[in-house]
Amino acid sequence: MAAPLLCLQLFMLLITSDSAATAFVGRGRRIARTNDTLRDDPVGRLKVYVYELPTEYNQDVVERDERCLSHMFAAEIFLHRFLLSSAVRTLNPDEADWFFTPVYTTCDLTNNGLPLPFDSPRMMRSAIQYIANKWSYWNRTEGADHFFIVPHDFGACFHYKEEKAIERGILPILQRATLVQTFGQSYHVCMKKGSIVIPPYAPTARILAHLIPPSTPRSIFAYFRGLFYDVGNDPEGGYYARGARASIWENFKNNALFDLSSEHPATYYEDMQRAIFCLCPLGWAPWSPRLVEAVVFGCIPVIIADDIVLPFADVIPWKEIGVFVAEHDVPNLDAILTSLSAVEILKKQRALADVSIKQAMLFPHPSLPNDAFHQILNGLARKLPHDPNIYLKDGIRILNWTAGPRGDMQPWKQQ
């Protein structure tokens, strides 16, 4: 144990208050202009038409359970609200570049606040049938100039267990649309080419309420709070997180370099601001809100999720701000992290201090320049102009409305 303790003491001496200067949007200083594309302004580069749906698809759902406003899937709600007052919105659908259907598919919550995605396919199908019958724009492209936000664990596959999500596949009638989703994994059935991967929702006000002085030393080497075993959904163990979280616990629960627990303390956010590394392993899906929290709090994210596609990966320099560890290398996690020099760590911390990166990971309301809302619009703008071939000739149809599980064909009714 002497060697790990010595390493820990050495790192505590070398990691200066510079690493704590990454506190939050507006408080950190812009140390490096990592990517000017993060500061692009979408206004003037695209126009979005927002369909007006019956309130049963959105507003009524939130009124039934307001917990939807604060869970990690809430981006679908706040993107809608943002677009309603955005300068890119057009009230004339004939001049729109993109069409948005505001349907909230993640507000069917259990008593514990977890979303049940089982009705989501029927709800989405119902909303698309509505816009297809009421307007002409869906039918001329079958959704190729439409975007939908699907912030489920496995996006438009609408299931929280990977094997079930793969079995379902992406909802067939969304095959031509652009998907805005938190799920991102290369070579995966639930990852559609051209999708825009976004951060999960983390309430900005709650984050602001837990800020500590940026000069606070980072006295924790590696930090993690969360499940290691999901006994309720994976009673035999080993399937949850593909065993990566179990391996973290079994290998490092007694290692002095690692502060690990399945309990979330009241000081969770404060602890992340005192940590050098924040472990971000996959769970049921490869992503989780702790990725957002780590970046915002200047804690170097240790990303353990093979083939993950990270939020706004085309503009955020993830290699510069994070550490990537293969799932099979988890038993070597201590050696991997202690092999990084103080110079390398400081370089990542300074990159993390870029205010634009922090803003890009958040959905504040009211919105701020360069935040996640703007990054979504920038991503859509970069897809323009549309290929003329997306427009179908009269009478031509590509999508199969009867494809998919039989249960998806049942009518959707608000609970």
Residues 18 and 41 in one domain: no
Asked if the structure places residue 181 within a domain, the reply is yes
Residues 144, 218 within the same domain = no
* Alpha helices, DSSP H, located in 353-388: 355-360, 372-381
Q: Categorize the per-residue pLDDT at 171 as very low, low, confident or very high, splitting at 50, 70 and 90.
A: very high
Residues 49 and 197 grouped into a single domain: yes
Judge whether 367 lies within some domain. Answer: no
- DSSP 8-state secondary structure symbol assigned to residue 303: E
Shared-domain flag, residues 152 and 69? yes
- Whether residues 67 and 128 share a domain: the answer is yes
Q: Is 174 part of any domain?
A: yes
Are residue 54 and residue 196 in the same domain, yes or no? Answer: yes
| Full residue range of the structural domain in which residue 138 is found | 37-201+372-409
Amino acid identity of 376?
I
**Domain identity same for 194 and 220:** no
Residue 213 belongs to a domain:
yes
Residue 366 lies in a domain: no
Answer yes or no: do 183 and 235 share one domain. no
- Asked if residue 182 and residue 135 are part of one domain, the reply reads yes
User: pLDDT tens across 97-107, in order?
Assistant: 999 999 999 98
Q: Are residues 270 and 307 in the same domain?
A: yes
Positive or negative, the CA dihedral 308, 312, 315, 320 is negative
- What is the number of domains present in the chain? 2
DSSP output for 170-198:
S-GGGTTSEEEES--BTT-TT--TT-EE-
Alpha helices (runs of H) in 315-390, residue ranges in sequence order: 318-321, 333-338, 342-352, 355-360, 372-381
Q: Supply 150's token pair.
A: 């699907």
Pick from 166, 176, 278: which is nearest to 218 by CA? 278
Give 314-319's long-range contacts (Cβ < 8 A, gap of 24+): 314/37, 314/379, 314/382, 315/35, 315/37, 315/38, 315/360, 315/375, 315/378, 316/34, 316/35, 316/38, 316/357, 316/360, 317/34, 317/35, 317/351, 317/357
pLDDT bucket at 1, cuts 50 / 70 / 90: very low
Residue 117, in any domain of the structure: yes
Q: Flag whether 365 is in a domain.
A: no
Q: What is the pLDDT of residues 193-233, one digit of tens each?
A: 999 999 999 999 999 999 999 899 999 999 999 999 988 87
On whether residue 415 sits in a domain, the answer given is: no
Q: Give the model confidence (pLDDT) of 261-299 as tens digits.
A: 999 999 999 999 999 999 999 998 999 999 999 999 999
Q: What is the CATH classification number for the domain harbouring 277?
A: 3.40.50
Q: Clarify whether residues 110 and 123 are in a common domain.
A: yes
Same domain membership, residue 50 and residue 167: yes
d(CA 361, CA 296): 8
Could you check whether the bond before residue 385 is cis, i.e. omega within 30 degrees of 0? yes
Confidence of residue 414 (pLDDT cuts 50, 70, 90): low
